[in-house]
Amino acid sequence: MKEENMKRLFGETRHLSLSTVNADGSPYGTWLRFVSDGEYIYFDNVPGSVHVGNIRRDSRVYLTILNLDGTEDSVSGYIQSRAEILDGEEAERALALLKTVGTPDPVNNVYCRVKIGEIDVDKKVKNPHRQFYFVNREEER
């Protein structure tokens, strides 16, 4: 059941809430379309957007992903990690993945990825088969 719900979360859900850190330390949140390859979350936006500027200055991010179907089978994922701005072949790969979920082919967009990391086993949740908290342990070092 857990694996099935993880697949629903990353394979069927298409929008997430991205939170970044403003220069004054306050949070900034926005909704974005995304795609996942199982290891990373990929998203894009225009170069002058607030969150792209925030990521360039401070790569810490928090993602909230919800697959809400109005039943008790709803699934949620929360990822604390760092975003990486992509270029070259990595950006082209991100664009190709995003196109598979209907993202248009924008000119000059900035492509980013966030490592999903591992399930935070220390986090206590109401339903461990439907709520997933991830932490990128590499980033904690």
pLDDT, position 90: 96
CB 45 within 8 A of CB 52: yes
pLDDT score of 1: 61
Q: Over the stretch 36-60, which tens digit does the pLDDT of each residue have?
A: 999 999 999 988 999 999 999 999 9
Residue 55, phi then psi, degrees to nearest 5? -65, -40
Q: Is the pLDDT of residue 138 over 70?
A: no
- pLDDT value, residue 70: 67
Kindly state the DSSP code that residue 94 receives in the 8-state scheme.
H
Instruction: Give the start-to-end residue ranges of the domains of the chain.
Output: 2-140
Give the Cβ contact number of residue 120 at 10 Å: 16
CATH hierarchy code of domain 2-140: 2.30.110.10
* pLDDT tens-digit series, residues 74-123: 888 999 999 999 999 999 999 999 998 887 766 679 999 999 988 888 88
d(CA 8, CA 75): 8
pLDDT grade, residue 141 (50/70/90)?
very low
